[in-house]
């Protein structure tokens, strides 16, 4: 993708609350790597075509486009002002680029130049929506898919103000989206559990994928004087969405298996029965349909992935949550695109 001496782009993604921010924060301490707050540039369908980007750039900046997938992302280059990229510069890059890969390289070079780095790791969770296509179109573009136990992800998202249906649906859809690139040379799958249990070993694996030597400085907790290039005002989040710990804290395995304390039997039963619609299964070429099946496929504590009997009261509560979620997604899609979104998940069975 990049010629000798050019900066290189790598994309990281995974369902929100899977440790992708922690990963980007830690990688950003490496002297050869630059990381930045989520760009939302490489996750819309337009990001798969240079011409589509050229034709849609005004609509993307005007928030008139949405990412495909479960989470309907409307932002585009949200931290642009912070990183010195505006619409005029993007237009120039698009006009000068001879290919999509060339445009991606221009973004990476801009980000790496101030620090003299060689790799820009762009982390946006929903990058996974384009992993499959990018792994085929640009096999030299490194992709890092961070995976975490969906029950811990759901517990984390619920603590941050999301509904259980949203949390389970997003983990199921987003994780399956990323897994589509499995087996391709550019794709690397990492586990949150491995990162917090053996950070040096996991980071060595990632850096080998990026062609960069390991540096133990990545394991030093960041402070105000840290050289980390990943900066975000973690403590300024709305109270319902704040992290209980921040990516600048020492790496800890305290959150592994926390769902056993956070989620009761009814909540787990609901999660296990969240499923992809038949159309979503076909589009994703998914090897699984339900949350419980994906838990088992990934090898997470299979003995607990059971579906308990469902009472009429629980089923009614699930239906209300499902309808509310669908209504929200319909309203969001109509507001930004005037199109109805595809229904991709439901609770049943």
- Residues 122-179 have pLDDT tens digits of 999 999 999 999 999 999 999 999 999 999 999 999 999 999 999 999 999 999 999 9
Would 47 be classed as within a structural domain?
Answer: yes
Would 235 be classed as within a structural domain?
Answer: no
Give yes or no for a contact between 280 and 175, defined as CB atoms under 8 angstroms apart: no
Q: How many domains does the chain have?
A: 1
Would 182 be classed as within a structural domain?
Answer: yes
CATH code of 156's domain: 3.40.50
The residues, ordered by sequence, that sit 6+ positions from 36 with a Cβ below 8 Å of its Cβ are 28, 79, 82, 83, 111, 120, 122, 229, 230
**What does the pLDDT read at residue 314?**
86
| 220 pLDDT above the threshold of 70 | yes
Gap between the Cα atoms of 191 and 28, Å rounded? 18
Residues of the domain holding 132: 8-220+252-344
Would 165 be classed as within a structural domain?
Answer: yes
**Average of per-residue pLDDT values in the chain:** 90
**What does the pLDDT read at residue 307?**
60
Would 133 be classed as within a structural domain?
Answer: yes
Would 275 be classed as within a structural domain?
Answer: yes
Would 1 be classed as within a structural domain?
Answer: no
- Residues 94-135 have pLDDT tens digits of 999 999 999 999 999 999 999 999 999 999 999 999 999 999
Would 281 be classed as within a structural domain?
Answer: yes
Angle (CA) 39-44-46 rounded to 5° is: 115
Give yes or no for a contact between 199 and 228, defined as CB atoms under 8 angstroms apart: no
Return phi, psi of residue 229, to 5°: -95, -5
Collapsing DSSP to helix, strand or coil, 120 comes out as: strand
């Amino acid at each position: 993708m990049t010629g000798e001496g050019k900066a290189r782009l790598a994309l990281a993604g995974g369902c929100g609350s899977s440790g992708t921010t922690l990963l980007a924060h830690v990688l950003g301490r490496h002297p050869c790597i630059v990381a930045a707050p989520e760009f939302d540039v490489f996750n819309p369908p337009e990001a798969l075509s240079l011409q589509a980007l050229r034709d849609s750039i005004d609509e993307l900046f005007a928030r008139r486009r949405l990412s495909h997938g479960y989470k309907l992302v409307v932002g585009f280059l949200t931290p642009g002002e912070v990183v010195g990229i505006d619409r005029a510069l993007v237009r120039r890059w698009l006009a000068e680029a001879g290919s999509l890969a060339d445009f991606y390289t221009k973004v990476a070079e801009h980000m790496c130049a101030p620090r003299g780095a060689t790799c820009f790791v762009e982390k946006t969770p929903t990058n996974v929506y384009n992993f499959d296509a990018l792994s085929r179109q640009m096999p030299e573009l490194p992709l890092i898919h961070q995976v975490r136990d969906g029950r811990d992800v759901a517990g984390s998202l619920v603590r941050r103000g999301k509904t259980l249906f949203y949390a389970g649906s997003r983990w199921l859809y987003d994780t399956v989206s990323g897994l589509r690139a499995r087996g391709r040379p550019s794709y690397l799958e990492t586990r949150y559990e491995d990162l917090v249990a053996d950070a040096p070993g996991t980071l060595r694996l990632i850096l080998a994928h990026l062609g960069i030597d390991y540096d133990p400085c990545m394991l030093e907790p960041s402070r105000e004087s840290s050289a980390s290039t990943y900066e975000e005002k973690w403590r300024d989040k709305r109270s319902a969405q704040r992290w209980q710990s921040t990516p600048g804290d020492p790496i800890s395995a305290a959150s592994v298996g926390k769902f056993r304390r956070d989620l009761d039997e009814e909540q787990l039963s609901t999660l296990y029965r969240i499923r992809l619609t038949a159309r979503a299964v076909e589009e994703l070429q998914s090897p699984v349909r339900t949350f419980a099946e994906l838990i088992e496929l990934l090898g997470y504590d299979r003995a607990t992935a059971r579906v308990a009997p469902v009472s009429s009261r629980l089923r009614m509560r699930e239906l209300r949550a499902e309808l509310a979620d669908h209504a929200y997604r319909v309203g969001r899609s109509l507001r930004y695109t005037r199109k109805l979104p595809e229904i991709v998940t439901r609770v049943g069975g």
